[in-house]
A = this chain, B = another copy of it.
Amino acid sequence: MEDCSIGKRYEETFDQLLIATGAVPIRPNLPGIESEGIYELSTLQSGILLRQALDQKNPRRAVIIGAGYIGLEMAENLSLRGLEVTIVEKMPQVMNTLDGDMSALIAQRLKEQGIGLYLGESVRGFEAQDGQVRAVVTEKERLSADLVILGLGVRPNAVLAKEAGIPIGQTGGIKVNPRMETEVEGIWAAGNCAEAYHLISRKPIFVALGTVANKQGRVAGLNIAGVPATFPGVVGTAMVKIFDLEVSRTGLQEREIQQLGLSYVSAKIEGRTRAGYFPGAEKITVKVFAEKGSGRLLGGQIVGGPGAGKRIDVLATALHGGLNLEEMINLDLGYSPPFSPAWDPILIAVRQAAAMV
């Protein structure tokens, strides 16, 4: 058998080929970006390197660029480690996959934790001294930093596929059918290098999440092994923990619904994660969207205390089932005072939206 050690070139024949090259973190070509002390998080190794830098260099001021999942999770954990943390985000809100009003709940929590937030600001470059980063320069500010985290998202690592002539979609991911086969017979793609189909927008989407990658890998593997399987697509579910806040979303957010030209209703309610009298009952905000007329669920967002986030799974399952609000009002969801009020907050939001359909 051929030795396949790193850096060695060799040829290998195949009957079936799976491309699972993942995604690569976005690293903009800005002045000073090669300075020491600028980290991105993508592989286990990149996490280990950052951890070593924290332990050995004991940085005090961290600037995080990008307020997506990775950026916010890093903000929490660096702050809990005692660092002074500032986030710079070019969009006017944190977590662009949420509506602005829901995102504002997170921004408020970040500020309460003493995290600096510069929204709507682009980074122009980095200042360094003796090769070590000293500041992040935005279009408006100069922010001192001895540690910088790039949380600018990832793009599909589709270079290999593209060079081989395998069609790439508009999302930048490799085009695949529901069996996870590319447009070239016998060549398959799965995971963060491939596109997924969004069951609600009915368009291809690029989702860089482990859960989607796992499902795609399973389906590709089954088909390659001769067992027919399909991955119909995603409904756009994602979640993140930020301090004691649980944040989740599924389906389409308001902007996406508007872009599709759909006529819609929405409701946003504030409830409690548990029966109001039960210790540990925390605030939960639920927003749902449905198509005007049909009442078909289009999406939802949740921000709240412990127990809030995974409630998104009710909406995700309803999206898969194509349920409308009328069918959802009487969902027989689990109730017991330590876990929910008699009317689960999800149902309260559904009821309010249903009244407007």
Residues of chain A having any CB pair with chain B under 8 Å: 69, 209-215, 219, 231-241, 246, 248, 250, 307, 309-314, 316-323, 327-336, 338-340, 342-344
Contact = CB atoms under 8 A, between A and B. Distances in A.
| Stoichiometry (number of copies) | 2
Contacts of A332: 211-212, 234-237, 250, 316, 319-320
Given A237-B335, A241-B336, A317-B333, 17 more contacts: A210-B342, A211-B333, A211-B344, A214-B342, A215-B329, A232-B330, A239-B334, A239-B339, A240-B336, A241-B339, A250-B332, A307-B310, A310-B334, A313-B317, A316-B333, A317-B321, A317-B331
A333 B237 contact: yes
Nearest to A235: B332
Contacts of A310: 307, 310-311, 334, 339-340
10 contacts: A237-B335, A238-B334, A238-B336, A250-B332, A312-B334, A313-B313, A313-B334, A317-B333, A320-B331, A320-B332
Residue of A233, A239, A328 with most partner-chain B CB within 10 A? A239
Contacts of A343: 211, 214
Contacts of A246: 339
Given A215-B330, A334-B248, A314 B312 contact: no
A331 B309 contact: no
Contacts of A318: 317, 321
Nearest to A232: B330
Contacts of A307: 307, 310
A322 B342 CA distance: 24
A205 to B, nearest CB: 11
A330 B322 CA distance: 14
Contacts of A214: 342-343
Contacts of A215: 329-330
Contacts of A212: 332
Residue of A211, A311, A314 with most partner-chain B CB within 10 A? A211
A170 B72 CA distance: 56
B320 A320 contact: no
A249 to B, nearest CB: 9
A313 B240 CA distance: 20
A248 to B, nearest CB: 5
A334 B241 contact: no
Nearest to A249: B334
A330 B210 CA distance: 13
A195 to B, nearest CB: 15
Contacts of A239: 334-336, 339
A235 B327 CA distance: 13
Contacts of A333: 211, 237, 313, 316-317
A221 to B, nearest CB: 13
